[in-house]
Chains A and B, each alone.
Chain A
Amino acid sequence: MDVIVVLEWAFDAVLGLGLLWLAWRTLNSPDLFKAIVLFISFGLLMALAWVRLNAPDIALAEAAIGAGLTGALLLAALARLRTTTDNTMPAQLPAGSWFQRGLLIVLLSGSAAGLGYAVWILPSHTSGLSMAVTANLDVSGARNPVTAVLLNFRGYDTMLEMIVLLLAVLGIWSLGGLPPRPERPAVAVLDTFSRFLIPVFILAAAYLLWVGADAPGGAFQAGSVLGAAGVLLLLSGWRPGVRLMQWPLRLALTIGAITFIILGVLTLLYEQQLLAYPVAQAGRMIILLESLATVSIAVTLAILFLGESPDPEEKK
């Protein structure tokens, strides 16, 4: 038994040191490509750390979004940067004087020490709201406490988060989007590979969505897997048609938020409280919200990767 405890301790120590080392290397790397690869590895290790902290929901999200899609977005941005600028090296920041550096080091290590102490004296285990969540789980419509919090107890926060995603797309489109990716003939391997993988992605997303009610999973995880399928399709040369890029795309991007708002208005009218689901209907409403939110999240992530504005003639 003792051996296992020591092993776990050693594993955690290696994980923690590895995270710090990767973070430092990422920030320190002069080569942007290398920095992105290091960032992706950082995300994967971070997902492992969440597993060690017994937070499998966050681990899934971190692996899919933190490492996977963010990595893909960064690589796509780097590829576009290389086509528009010839220098791949970031400009060297002017090094401050010794006094400035010393002051910065003193201030930062002081704050770090203070924060470290504050975390050190935290009680090692507090129940927080988990008692209240467990007590109300039966009437929440979900058996996974994370889903119950995200979609029911704090569904209002999730509604606002859907708008955050929409704003990200609006922000990119408002700048005129990126120039269209140069058409490349599909590589045979990628093409065949995608044909096999995409159905698997869709199946995995559906499973994650469905299982989210009882176990780790849910709209954000399912949406990011589905979004990754979209990225794969885009990489293998598929482009949504012009007609698809108009209102069907806009509807898909907003359908999650629209569902939240409609349910909000209905519950306000019939229950006098925003997003207060009747107990008998709660499970069905959560599944409805999650399914449509999955669509919005997946389309948002894929569209962020595409980066093109829907109206090419409106380019600035």
Chain B
Amino acid sequence: MEAILANADWGVIVILLPLTGGIVCFLWPAVSKTAGLITVAAVVLAVAGLGRQIMEHGAYRHTVGGWGAPLGIDLFADGLSLFMLIMTALVGLGISCYAKSYFNPRDAVWFWPVWLFLLAALNALFLAADIFNLYVTLELTGLAAVTLTALTGRIDALSSAMRYLLAMLAGSLAYLLGVALLYHDSGSVDIATLAQRIEPNATVWAALGLMSAGLALKTALFPLSFWLPPAHASAPAPVSALLSALVVKASFYILLRLWLELFADFAEGVSTLLGLLGAAAILWGSLQALRQTRIKLLVAYSTVAQIGYLFLVYPLASASSGLAAGIAAYLAFSHALAKSAMFLAAGNLMRFGGHDRIADLDRAVQRLPLTVSAFALAGVSIMGLPPSGGFTGKWLLLDAAMSQGRWDLAAVMIIGGLLAAGYIFKVLGYAFMQAKEPHDARAVPAGMEWAALLLAVGSILLGLMASEIFALIHPDLVANAGGAVERVWTA
């Protein structure tokens, strides 16, 4: 038994499990809730198995079909991929526990298969080592995300899902055109092979521009973030949490991976531009969040701002890129935990009061203490207060900015933190007050409150486990693989 567990091919299993689960949910709608929960729990265990293998033997590689790159497709996982897989599995489990009580039976029949396909697509994306395979997983992710956004069938959800779909397709097509150019230029779609062959010329620059623009659109980097607030705000709460916590991170991961492996050496000007847009996103997103009168829109604009922090690593990466990528992944994880907790808490408040107007929260803190605690704890991480994951990530980023003399970026980070405190305390303040016209409250299932609280606690715990996590993402882990894996993630 021990030998089977140690030798099983967990990387392939984390892709096949949710695919199978999704098909089971589609074939037998009656069991979809149970099958969905079991599958997500099993994926967590499989990711743990993969993690153990990577810790012991170094980076994971699987040659699909036995052909090997560049003819076939390779699956690859190093510390960075593993970290993203852990993020997806844990946040996905929390949101699944919430969704179990959230959806009525009619919507649940559609939610579970589509969510499991989304999970499979995300896992496949984080394991991909091939830019065309990345495109396929990106398409699958986008299509599943749009389907989930439109799940309620309400007019605002439909129109924002349509806008989301068009933005996703535009982003995918730009990325695909870049893939075609790179393939024609270098004769391969395998990232490791490309890294050896790539030389800066006009074709590679065009590919870089197209792929970065397409992925920035999908990640909702300001000013390409126009589609995010309506889509994330009109979706059902668990879906908003999935979109904000995981789906935008997928395209960010691809961009990070491409930069680390392919583009970082010759495109410093573009990284400056990405950093500037990131800084603009922090300021604009935070100011917009501050202006909102509805919780879900506020949280959605906060996502636009927090994505900006992720892009600040590009201008800071040139000096210490391995560490910068680690900081980006760590920030992405802490944002995923905190933001999913916030959206789930917002969903509880909507279920409780029937609306999400901030000014009418009506003593929510007394009547829904767990939910408001979850919102507050997640807020601690979003604001970047110790001891949360958001604090550690932003502190490391601030440290990198100061040591490189980038006082402008440091100032933006601090202002962003202050503005975040402003919009989070705005919600918390109203949660303590009595509304002018008190209204009846509906009960919120305990499971939904606890799921939000546990994710929020996770975002705090992440800050306490920072050193273990950085050991996991550290480039040395990949180097342990020795001769088996030539590609070492140091960039």
Kindly state whether residue A50 has any CB partner on chain B within 8 Å. no
Q: For residue B475, give the distance in angstroms from its CB to the closest CB of chain A.
A: 28
What residues of chain A lie closer than 8 Å to B121, measured between beta carbons? 160, 163
Q: Decide if the interface of chain A is mainly helix, strand, loop or mixed.
A: helix
What is the bound-complex CA distance between A275 and B133, given in angstroms?
15
Kindly state whether residue B365 has any CB partner on chain A within 8 Å. no
Measured as residues with beta carbon below 8 angstroms from the partner, the interface class of chain A is 35 or more
What residues of chain B lie closer than 8 Å to A235, measured between beta carbons? none
Bitwise interface map of A from 173 to 214 toward B, beta carbon under 8 Å scored 1, else 0: 111100000000000000000000000000000000000000
What is the bound-complex CA distance between A40 and B140, given in angstroms?
26
Kindly state whether residue A33 has any CB partner on chain B within 8 Å. no
Known: A118-B203, A175-B153, A257-B19. A167 touches B64 (CB 8 A): no
Kindly state whether residue B423 has any CB partner on chain A within 8 Å. no
Contact of B110 among A157, A164, A174, A277 (CB under 8 A): A174
What is the bound-complex CA distance between A164 and B22, given in angstroms?
12
Kindly state whether residue A109 has any CB partner on chain B within 8 Å. no
What residues of chain A lie closer than 8 Å to B114, measured between beta carbons? 167, 170-171, 174
Kindly state whether residue A307 has any CB partner on chain B within 8 Å. no
Interface window among B183-191, B282-290, B294-302: B183-191
Interface window among B66-74, B349-357, B398-406: B66-74
Flag if A153 contacts B65 (CB, 8 Å). yes
Bitwise interface map of A from 107 to 138 toward B, beta carbon under 8 Å scored 1, else 0: 00001001101110111001111001100100
Flag if B27 contacts A254 (CB, 8 Å). yes
Flag if B16 contacts A167 (CB, 8 Å). no
What is the bound-complex CA distance between A19 and B72, given in angstroms?
34
Q: For residue B26, give the distance in angstroms from its CB to the closest CB of chain A.
A: 6
Closest to B148 in A: A174
Bitwise interface map of B from 156 to 195 toward A, beta carbon under 8 Å scored 1, else 0: 0010000000000000000001000101110110000000
Flag if A164 contacts B139 (CB, 8 Å). yes
Q: For residue B14, give the distance in angstroms from its CB to the closest CB of chain A.
A: 12
What is the bound-complex CA distance between A175 and B71, given in angstroms?
40
What is the bound-complex CA distance between A261 and B206, given in angstroms?
37
What is the bound-complex CA distance between A166 and B19, given in angstroms?
11
Contact of A273 among B64, B70, B133, B187 (CB under 8 A): B64
Contact of B9 among A122, A127, A258, A268 (CB under 8 A): A268
Kindly state whether residue B100 has any CB partner on chain A within 8 Å. no
What is the bound-complex CA distance between A268 and B114, given in angstroms?
25
Kindly state whether residue A271 has any CB partner on chain B within 8 Å. yes
Known: A167-B147, A170-B26, A170-B114. A136 touches B140 (CB 8 A): no
Chain A residues within CB distance 8 Å of chain B: 111, 114-115, 117-119, 121-123, 126-129, 132-133, 136, 152-157, 160-161, 163-164, 166-168, 170-171, 173-176, 247, 250-251, 253-254, 257-258, 261, 264-265, 268, 271-277, 314, 316
Q: Which 4 A-B pairs have the closest CB atoms?
A: A118-B206, A276-B66, A174-B110, A171-B147
Chain B residues within CB distance 8 Å of chain A: 9, 12, 16, 19-20, 22-23, 26-27, 62-67, 70-73, 106, 110, 113-114, 117, 120-121, 124, 132-133, 136-137, 139-140, 143-144, 146-147, 150-151, 153, 158, 177, 181, 183-185, 187-188, 201-203, 205-207, 209-210
